[in-house]
Amino acid sequence: MNDFLEFAARGKNDWWRYPVVCVSACATAMVLLALGSMALLATHVLDPRVIANLQHPTDATVLFLGDVGAPLGALLIGLAISAALIQRKYPADMIGRWRWPLFAAGFGLWMIVQAGATLIDYVLAPQGFSVTLSHATAGLALFAALGLVVQTFTEEFIFRGYLTQGILLALKRPVPASIVSGLIFGALHIPNGLPQAVYAALFGITCSFVAIRTGGIALTAGIHLANNYFGAVGVVSAEDVFKGSAGILTQNTPHLMWWDTGVSALPLVALALVVARLWPLSETAGTARAT
């Protein structure tokens, strides 16, 4: 049986355990954040003004460590604890077969994809680009790396690990499971705008499919990190959550948002086709078994 299905079948997979784990994970994360904040305040490590300024987009430390890294890190710990206690599922079960070469390949490949897409946009609308490289860019690059490693790994752990495994066990088929998981991922991005939500759905569907085929989240974690890091440090969109950051370039081309969504779909489709060719499912892997 395919590695991913083997990992998914571990533990106790009664349907009711999944929503209970999700609620427990969120509650545990909130407790961890509250305790951590109180401890940092009590020891004067954390300035109260930092907490009041968590949404300040130009402060790299606050944005990527306080507003991105800490909440997602707490949620990662909360899910790991909750799944272990309620389902007897452990982090290694949800990560699957981890291979560092796949992570590195995903990161490098998607950096090239992002650079290529940016080049196309520049050819279409050069006036929408400006150089914003400054003395603050080095700090941004460092803190973005620290925060986004946590953020992207957590999202892969949750959506391509825990969630996709559960949906696969329920639906029995890899492609429908990937679609449902991706649509959920996209729906959570609706507050960022419809074009980003559609891209997130396509991204989520592809990454779920890739995780199933490769037996783990290593390749998708590398891709996800490159995707977000490029948008936070390389070319910062004026319409994105990272707007105002001191990235190398800033892109302000709102008229190209749907074009970018369409263009971005092409490498995602290509990725899925290549992965399907390199990691074919065995005859017994097309259908998942529940325990």
- The tokens of 234 are what? 């390389």
Beta strands in the chain (DSSP E): 129-131, 235-237, 249-251
DSSP string, 238-280: TTSTTTT---SEEE--GGGHHHHHHHHHHHHHHHHHHHHHHSP
| Span 109-114, average pLDDT | 98
Are the beta carbons of 93 and 11 closer than 8 angstroms? yes
In the block, residue with structure tokens 């998914």: 8
pLDDT for 55 beyond 50: no
Considering the chain, what percentage of its residues have pLDDT values greater than 70?
A: 89
Backbone phi, psi, residue 249, to 5°: -130, 155
What is the model's pLDDT at position 61?
A: 57
User: Residue 88: what residue type?
Assistant: R
63-98 tens-digit pLDDT = 677 778 889 999 999 999 999 999 999 999 999 999
| Span 30-49, average pLDDT | 78
| Span 227-239, average pLDDT | 93
Please state, in angstroms and rounded to a whole number, the distance separating the CA atoms of residues 161 and 93. Answer: 8
Instruction: Quote the pTM value.
Output: 0.91
| Span 200-217, average pLDDT | 97
Sign of CA dihedral 227, 228, 231, 234: negative
pLDDT for 160 beyond 60: yes
The DSSP letter of residue 254 is: G
Lowest average pLDDT, out of 66-75, 93-102, 241-250, 281-290, goes to: 281-290
Backbone phi, psi, residue 236, to 5°: -90, 125
What H or E segment, with its residue span, contains residue 74? helix 70-87
What is the model's pLDDT at position 50?
A: 52
Q: Which of 133, 5, 158 is nearest to 73 (CA)?
A: 158
